[in-house]
Every structure is written in C-alpha cells, then in structure tokens.
Chains A and B, each alone.
Chain A
C-alpha cells in the first residue's frame, strides 16, 4: 500500500456501496418518475401503477438514507482539476438537489396521502401511519408540490444524464469511470494512468477502506 502518497487521500472512484446505490437508485428513480406520470395520465393503469408507486417510493427513501450516510462518511472522488468553475458549481448544486429530492419526494408523497385522508398502503394489509393531519389545505399544497418537484427531479435527472455522458464521451475524463466501476487491480487497458496513482489501487473499496 502506498499510504503516504497524497493520491491515496483523494479516492479516484466512488466506493462499492455508493456505486451499487447510485445505479440501483438511478433505475428506481427513473422508473418511479415514469410510473408517476403514467399513473396520473391513465384511465386504466392507475390502480396497478399506484400500488407500485407507494412501496417503491418508500424503498427509495430508505435507500436514500443509507446513501446519504455513506456519502457523508466517504469522500467522493474530486472533480477534474481543469473543470471550469461554473461546471463544478453546477455539478455540486445538482448533486445536492438530487439528494434533497430523493428525500423530499417520498416524504411529500407520504405526507400528501396522509393529508388527503388516504391509507398509505405498502402492500395489502400493511399501511404506514399518517404523518400529517387530514386537511384540504395541507393536501392541496403537498399534492401540487409533489407534481412540481417531480418535474424538477426529472429535469435534474436529465441534466445529470447529459453531464455524465458529456464527461464520458466529450471530455473523456475520469468522472464517468469513477461511478461506472471500481479501480482495477491492474492498470486499465486503455491509456496509461497518470504516474503514481493507478497501479497501487487495489480492490473495489480502495476509495475509502
């Protein structure tokens, strides 16, 4: 191990937990957005989609808790040093916005159903308790917020997707690989790594272990 090398302090990849959570939640959140917009626009699929939407939303909330704890305990890899300041800002702001919405959307959904007087059914026979009083004004505000924040979340996800692909295909920097895979035990097959970093990386959890 190369503990004294400065590069060891700044991981080059997200840890395994972060990567698994990122990709599974990416799938879940994208599915959730499509299920959500689909269920309010369908005269036939609503019952099926609603019964999927509620438990999936709570699952995302639980995963978001694990993810935030992991994120706060493990430093993510730094952004490329040559990244323009405005892009650094956009990256950081959008990441925290994504985190905020990952928590806000399920909590608003749960609160909204509570305020609307609906049972918060996870599956037949198991309801979550209400977390808001049954009240028209509270319901209307939360119901509106759920839609508008869902659209904001979708827009942010699209931006995030575009930025990720921009890093992967246009800038071809280390941003996409830092989330796409762990460090290889041997140097990557492509271009040589900057001296003194990569060959010493070993195992998936190099970033934080």
Chain B
C-alpha cells in the first residue's frame, strides 16, 4: 500500500488530473440526477408542469381542493360481488361478499364552486377495502371514451382551454388549432354536444374509460374496461332545466334520494377481443363485445367533502389489488402521476392553513359560473 505522500512540490504538480477526474465523475452523477429530475429540460412535460397547466386553466388556485374535479361530495357504501367476476379476476371484490368503500361523486372543472348544471362531465371515485387487506381505487367518468389518445395531446387540450388573461375566456384560435391538430377529439366533442344530460348523479353511467388487465386464479389475462350502470332509471334534463337548476342541485338531489333509499349501480365489465386497442382510451371497443355484470355498487350515505372521509384520499386509478393490473394506456400512468401532484399540493395547502374553505372552517361561497 502506498505510504502517504505529503503534499510536496512534485505531487502537487500531478494532482490536477485526479482532481479533474473526481470533478467530472461527481459532476456527471449530479448532472444525470438533474436531467432525470427534469431540472435541465424546462420544456419537458412533467407531472408538475401538467398540474401547473391545469391550475392555469382553472384561472386561479383553489387552495386545498383537487386541481381537477374540485367540486364533489363524499359517499359511503359497499360493493357486492355476484360471483360472476371470479372467473375473470382473482380480486376479492368479485366474490359474493360485501366490500365497503369510501367514495366521491363530483363534477369536472377546477372550481369548487362550479355550477352543477354546466358540468358536462360527472365522475365517481371509489376506494374499496376488501377483507383480504387489499385496496382498489377507481376513478370513473360519465364520458364513454377519452377525448385524446396521448398525454401530450391531453396537455395541449388543457392549454387550449386555458382562459386568456385579457378576456377571461379561452382563445378560440387556440381551441381551433387544437381541434385541427387532433381530429380524434371530434368523437368526444360530438358526445359532449349530443349526449343527453341526466337529472342526477344517481342515473348517470360512470365509465372506467382506460383499459385494465384482469388476471384470474389460473393466471389467465384479459383486457377489460368497465362501467357502473345505474339501476336508477334514466331521466333527461333539458338545457332550460339545467339553466334554471340550483347550482348545487346534484348534491341536493343526492341527499334527497339517499334519505329514501340507497342508490345502486351494476358493475359491467367489457371483455376485449384480441386486437382491441388497450393503449388508446379515445377509441371505444365495438358494441358487440361480451359484457359481464360482476356486482353492484351501493351508495348508502353522503357527507360534504370539507369534513368527509374522501377529502384526503387520492383516487389514483392505479392503486389495484391482486387480479387487476393497469394496461399500456399512457393516459392511465399520466393520471396516476398528475393526481399525485394534485394531492401533494392540496394536502400542503391544508397543512399550511391556506385552505379554510376546503376544510369547512369558513363557508363556501355560492356556486357561480
């Protein structure tokens, strides 16, 4: 082993190559870290930048609220499997047992004071805790398919709908440019324009939209999507009725219905055929695909979200039990990433005392456009 060489003159002269090598190695590791973190590439789309775009699109930051689908109520109930799903997935949920959930019904939009009559999209989220200690989180929407196929298109859509600071409204030129660049959005636009509006959360269908994989006890894998189809009869709401309705009619209606009886939805699983796209949530599968009803969602009660159990839950659709896996759908992974940032931000808002309305310390203002 070399004996310590004191820093004499000849040694000093030969030190710099070693020091340079050390600087290069340590600097290289630091640079690689910074590159992966996105610090060196301000143009790269990250979950943080996507969430920033959503916040911009909201016009302001509503502290303590979800950055998307900010307005909603907590619900509680159970899922009751009918046994039909057991052949498809080993998830405990599908056995003929009751699995309690903490859920949330909401409307799309970043404002917690949005008008229910103006929200084209409604959603249902569930956190199901089965008796084998596993958890399944679902985040479903009333649209039957997604507007776009890729994460970058989703981001462009968000940017195109961001209000111009000058007018307070989205720039029509930007929206038109988005539609030109993304013809696949036409299907969604047509749905948004023509699909009838229902009168209640109770008679709304909620769709998983993204594809998932079900794996049964024998290890057989199937690509699936699912929907929660209401047992409550559909009733349409006209544009005039919506305009005249109270801004919070959905939660008022929900309370009135729950005071009478629990509300039910059938969980209907659609099985893909080989070749059906799993990576593109904008493409529905053909109507003739096999459907299997695997159980019933039963909502028994609701509470305001300000002090409800759903407030501090991130309904990340990739929290899944054994027997269920995410698919190669890129939007699914992106939702997981962006929800996480939104959750971190709103929990931070609450912790730092900036979210008095969100936690119910001060009353929420009237619903407004």
Contact = CB atoms under 8 A, between A and B. Distances in A.
A125 B46 contact: no
A190 interface: yes
A170 B18 contact: yes
B22 A162 contact: yes
Interface string B1-17: 11111100000000100
A22 interface: no
Contact of B312 (A134, A177, A198): A134
A23 interface: no
A32 B322 CA distance: 25
Interface in A116-174: 116-119, 124-125, 127, 134-137, 139-141, 143-144, 154, 158, 161-162, 165-166, 169-174
For the complex, would chain B's binding face be called helix, strand, loop or mixed by DSSP majority? helix
B30 A143 contact: no
B334 A44 contact: yes
B61 interface: no
A173 B25 contact: no
B192 to A, nearest CB: 25
A177 to B, nearest CB: 6
Contacts of A82: 4, 6
A161 B29 CA distance: 10
A31 B51 CA distance: 27
B25 A165 contact: yes
Contact of A177 (B1, B38, B352): B1
A6 B347 CA distance: 59
Contacts of B348: 140, 143-144
Contact of A190 (B2, B326, B330, B333): B2
Interface string B327-369: 0001011101110100110011011100000000000000000
Contacts, number: 136
A198 B1 contact: yes
Contacts of A141: 351
Nearest to A135: B312
B37 to A, nearest CB: 5
Given A172-B4, A194-B3, A38 B36 contact: yes
Contact of A140 (B46, B132, B352): B352
A99 interface: no
Interface in A157-209: 158, 161-162, 165-166, 169-174, 177, 188, 190-191, 193-194, 198
A190 B3 CA distance: 10
Interface residues of A, number: 50
Contacts of B336: 46-47
Contact of A127 (B22, B38, B134): B134
A45 interface: yes
Interface stretch (B163-171, B287-295, B313-321): B313-321
B256 interface: no
Nearest to B344: A143
Nearest to A12: B1
B343 A116 contact: yes
Contact of A170 (B15, B30, B318): B15
Given A43-B337, A139-B347, A143-B348, A119 B25 contact: no
A202 to B, nearest CB: 16
Contacts of A169: 18, 21-22
